């Protein structure tokens, strides 16, 4: 009898243990299913948030690029306007300089180049002054020697005239050597002086022609006055005879 009861107790214990194990396994299954569901939901939410963040980031990036393009286009437009304004001002200054007879400075010309140009102009002006001084001295000497030669010719002093001609040749050689030396120093100065000398010679020629015309006119007037006087004298003599 005791053995029978022990056997029944063992069976009941086994049944209870089996039912408990089954319950635990069911609990664990439900828990794992719920955990997987929760994990899936979390992952889905994470993906949604990531996609939303990416979309927002792309939107902001596109907006920033659009703003950057607009600013760049605006900056380019302003730069073009400033460039056009600067060019217009440069043209106006160039035109004003041309009207005044001055050469405008080249674009981007450095201070060193400007200083060099000023030094060059100063050298040219200095040489021009020397050339003009030499020309005036030569002309004065020639005029004085030629007047003396004319007087000697009138007196018939041929020996003195020959000596004076030699002096004139010597003066001309001295003048030519001096002017050649000055011209070789600077071509621009030589060209400017050539133009000045041509203008001076033209004015001298015009002055001589005008003086000659005045003398001829005076001679004609004097001749006409003399003829009128002779006619008057003749008419007076004729009246006396009558």
Whether the model pTM is above 0.85: no
**Assigned domain for 55 exists:** no
Instruction: Report DSSP letters for 68-118, one per residue.
Output: HHHHHHHHHHHHHHHHHHHHHHHHHHHHHHHHHT-PPPPTT--HHHHHHHH
**Assigned domain for 106 exists:** no
Q: How far apart are CA 131 and CA 190, in angstroms?
A: 9
Average pLDDT over residues 230-238: 64
**Assigned domain for 81 exists:** no
| Between residues 78 and 115, the one the model is more confident about | 115
Domain count, the chain: 1
Of the ranges 81-95, 110-124, 139-153, 200-214, which is most confident? 139-153
**Assigned domain for 216 exists:** yes
pLDDT in tens, 39-59: 555 556 656 666 666 666 666
**Assigned domain for 215 exists:** yes
Which residues span the domain enclosing 127?
Answer: 114-230
Q: How far apart are CA 88 and CA 15, in angstroms?
A: 108
**Assigned domain for 65 exists:** no
pLDDT in tens, 75-88: 777 777 777 777 77
**Assigned domain for 153 exists:** yes
DSSP label at residue 1: -
> Does residue 109 contact residue 125 with C-beta atoms inside 8 Å?
no
């Amino acid at each position: 009898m005791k053995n029978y009861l022990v056997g029944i107790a063992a069976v009941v214990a086994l049944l209870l243990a089996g039912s408990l194990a089954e319950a635990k396994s069911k609990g664990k299954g439900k828990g794992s299913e719920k955990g997987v569901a929760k994990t899936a939901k979390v992952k889905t939410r994470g993906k949604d948030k990531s996609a939303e963040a990416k979309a927002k980031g792309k939107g902001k990036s596109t907006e920033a690029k659009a703003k950057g393009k607009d600013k760049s286009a605006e900056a380019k437009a302003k730069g073009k306007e400033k460039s056009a304004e600067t060019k217009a001002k440069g043209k106006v200054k160039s035109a004003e300089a041309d009207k005044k007879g001055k050469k405008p400075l080249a674009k981007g010309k450095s201070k060193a180049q400007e200083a060099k140009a000023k030094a060059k102009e100063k050298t040219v002006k200095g040489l021009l002054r020397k050339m003009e001084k030499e020309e005036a001295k030569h002309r004065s000497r020639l005029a004085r020697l030629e007047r003396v030669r004319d007087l000697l010719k009138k007196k018939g002093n041929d020996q003195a005239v020959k000596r004076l001609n030699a002096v004139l040749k010597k003066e001309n050689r001295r003048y030519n050597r001096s002017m050649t030396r000055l011209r070789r120093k600077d071509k621009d100065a030589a060209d400017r002086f050539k133009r000045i000398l041509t203008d001076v010679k033209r004015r001298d020629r015009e002055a001589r022609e005008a003086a000659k015309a005045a003398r001829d006119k005076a001679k004609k007037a004097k001749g006409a006055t003399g003829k009128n006087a002779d006619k008057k004298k003749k008419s007076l003599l004729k009246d006396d005879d009558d």
